[in-house]
Structure 1
Amino acid sequence: MTRTIDSLTPEDGKDWLKSAARAGYAARGLVFLIVGYFSFRAAFASGEAMDTKDAIEVIAGSGFGVVLLVVMVLALAAFAVWRLIQVVMDVDRHGTGAKGLFVRAGLLISAFSYGGLALYATTLLLGSASDGGGGGKSGVIAYAYEQGYGVWVTYLIAAGMAAAAIAHVVKAAKAGFEKYMAIPEDRRWLLKPVCQFGLTARALTFVVLAGLLATGAAGYSSGDTPGLDAALQEIAGWSFGWLFLSLTGLGLIAFGVYSIAEAIYRRITIPNVPDVG
């Protein structure tokens, strides 16, 4: 039976938002599966580690590149919107205390990050991406350096990265993600340690990136601050770097699995929006 517009309920809108959020988690998972795979491969063979933009370029160059890019643009944009909903509506009930505001600030940064990635995928789709990539974060930082306060912005971002690392480690150690997910008991024994490993690996990249940002802040004159690929290359340069890089690559693959698990099992609650019409 065909439903008219008048017959649609608010729940229909919620279902659409929930589906969009799940698509966003899946898109994030795909990106990190690619980044993790190439990082692991780089540990044992010639090649360079990748960042999230490089992963989008890999998707663009695949056999169904245009179709996949369209899907990625929509899914990443939906994920960015979902992050904003999490911040504004506090759907996970983090509250307005110091800890809650800290978590919501991190979600806001995530919203801008994945929104920028969706924008970058759009430029690839339209054939207008530059060789250097660009991106929202670099543009903001470049502007800050031009205005004379870029060093402090870079220090602030480095502090945010360090805080995010701590949050990821705590979430991994306490398996805090479980209260937001309905993982079937017969799969929990496998998914729980995989998710914990993925979160820990992601934390490591945040720590390294924070260090790179903090130590080099005074030297960035054009906003050319390091990204995830630089953090992975730094890890490769350590003693036994191949081992650390391979483990980090596997960990980022695990983080991709964690994101896909969120797409499937996360409890997504959309609050009622008051009718102001």
Structure 2
Amino acid sequence: MNASARLTTLTRLGFATRGLLYIVIAFLILRTGRAEDPAGALRYLGESGGQLLLGVMAAGLIGYGIWRLSDAAFDIERHGSDRHGTLQRVGALASGVTHLFLAWQAIRLMQGAASSGDSTREGTQTALSLPGGSFLVMLGGVVLVGVGILQLAKAVKASFLDYLDPAIARQAWAQWSGRLGYGARGFVFMITGYFLLRAGFQEQGAEAGGMDKALAWLTNPWDIVIALGLLGFGIFGLIEARYRRLHDAPIDGMVRRATGRA
């Protein structure tokens, strides 16, 4: 198996890991009312499943993150060069960085390191201390609201089905798990964007927050509705792990070029 094929295998493991994290997030809300983000779900699984599970998830998240960055750099998913394609590649870049950060957190948990707190709030506070920081934070809020709107558009158009095996894409369970999932994620992104806008306007980093704060902010029954949607997104992640059509990243060529220069 060449390097590109190995990365594709790890990417599928990454889709499964992401799906599992969202299933845990939904489970915690529905069963205990506890609001967590993917990093919190990672900690929960680490406490329950131990080092082996964390190691498997870290490997999957690394593969997924590298594959997303490769998509941003080389357009391996054939997004195109128009405005929509450019936005897709920017989204792939953000997703790649986010999931590599999650992989780093999994490795830190394996080493016994404690959580460092709310990274969104800390990052916002750091940004506010910079010249023009409040504008930067509000700009980040606008971007997150925009991402949320794009997620809702995906839910309506069901464009996520384009990447699945056609036979699976026609199945109602694949369609509705994706629709519910992207819809729920869209609302969560919009809420976190609102928190950033408020933090920037008031110049208070404490006003910012990630998915965990957004879910805790929701009142009954909306927290249950969003949790069910996130459960759908987790299930769709497992579907993607098995049935998504993946294009290989050009890893082998990069390795050959690097080896040749050496």
TM-score, length of structure 2 as denominator length: 0.88
Q: How does 1:48-67 map to 2 (within 5 A)?
A: 48-62=34-48, 64-67=49-52
| Match in the other structure for 2:236 | 258
Q: Is the 8 A contact 1:145 1:223 kept in 2?
A: no
What is the alpha-carbon distance in structure 2 between the residues aligned to residue 152 and residue 78 of structure 1? 34
Partner residue of 1:21 out of 11, 17, 21:
11
Q: How does 1:1-277 map to 2 (within 5 A)?
A: 12-42=2-32, 47-62=33-48, 64-130=49-115, 132-133=116-117, 135=119, 140-182=123-165, 184-185=167-168, 188-219=171-202, 221=204, 225-236=208-219, 242-272=220-250, 273=253, 276=257, 277=260
What is the alpha-carbon distance in structure 2 between the residues aligned to residue 169 and residue 59 of structure 1? 29
Q: Give the superposed CA RMSD.
A: 2.2
Q: Deviations over 1:169-190 (max 9, x none)?
A: 1211111111111053597122
The Cα of 1:139 is off from its aligned counterpart by 5.4
Gaps of 5+ in 2: none
Amino acid at match of 2:127: A
Q: Is the 8 A contact 1:36 1:253 kept in 2?
A: yes
Q: Deviations over 1:14-55 (max 9, x none)?
A: 21111011011111101100001112234xxxx431111210
- Larger % of helix: which? 2
The Cα of 1:67 is off from its aligned counterpart by 0.8
Q: Number of residue pairs matched?
A: 255
What is the alpha-carbon distance in structure 2 between the residues aligned to residue 93 and residue 81 of structure 1? 17
Percent identity of paired positions between Structure 1 and Structure 2 = 27
The Cα of 1:102 is off from its aligned counterpart by 1.4
Amino acid at match of 1:51: D
Amino acid at match of 1:100: G
Q: Deviations over 1:125-144 (max 9, x none)?
A: 111224x4354x55544432
What is the alpha-carbon distance in structure 1 between the residues aligned to residue 210 and residue 184 of structure 2? 15
TM-score, length of structure 1 as denominator length: 0.84
Q: Is the 8 A contact 1:18 1:268 kept in 2?
A: yes
Gaps of 5+ in 1: 1-10, 237-241
> Which shows bigger deviation, 153-162 or 15-24?
153-162
What is the alpha-carbon distance in structure 1 between the residues aligned to residue 54 and residue 224 of structure 2? 28
> Which shows bigger deviation, 196-205 or 69-78?
69-78
What is the alpha-carbon distance in structure 1 between the residues aligned to residue 141 and residue 164 of structure 2? 30
